[in-house]
Amino acid sequence: MHELTKVPSTRRPDLHVATDGEFTGWRTWVRDSFESHIGPFWHKIEDDGSVRSAFRVEKKHLNGSGNVHGGCFMAFADYCLFAIATHELDGPAVTTNFACDFLDAAREGELVECVGEVSRAGGSLIFLRGKLTSAGRPLFTFSGTIKRVKRKPALQPNA
């Protein structure tokens, strides 16, 4: 596992940056225990403002045939939705729609990368699409919708 350090930001205290290894300088979120368990998934903002996400395929990502499990691609793509929307988000949000197409398989050791774009960002909905590749080979395409949500007050016990 990579050594992580917090990005000094009160806006995103859950955003961490790798300080060593293959993904030095790349970011990840640590608030989602499922993503932390199946990842690590990483993203970085390129010089042109676009967002690139990636993960290195490990044995834990594989199905019984030795290919990346479809659910892993889907979970990574969902992570990518939020990375791609990073310039549009200023608070909590949830995925409300997700569609995908499986194009090819990836195997252990491959680097799976994602690039995408915001198709439209409105008041509460953000529409996005992206593509996963490995060494330029298309693996998976997806589209999704993220809904900005208001924080609900915490429930008080016995209230």
Beta bridge partners of 51: 45
Q: Fill in the amino acid letter for 68.
A: V
- Count of CB atoms situated within 10 Å of the CB of 71: 11
34: helix, strand or coil:
helix
pTM of the model: 0.86
Of 116, 114, 115, 141, the C-alpha closest to 128 is 116
Residues 6+ apart with CB under 8 A from 111: 54, 55, 56, 57, 134, 135
Tokens of 71: 């659910």
What is the per-residue pLDDT across 26-76, written as a single tens digit (0 to 9) for each?
999 887 788 888 889 999 999 999 999 999 999 999 999 999 999 999 999
Distance CA 122, CA 72 (A): 29
Q: How confident is the model at residue 159 (pLDDT cuts 50, 70, 90)?
A: low
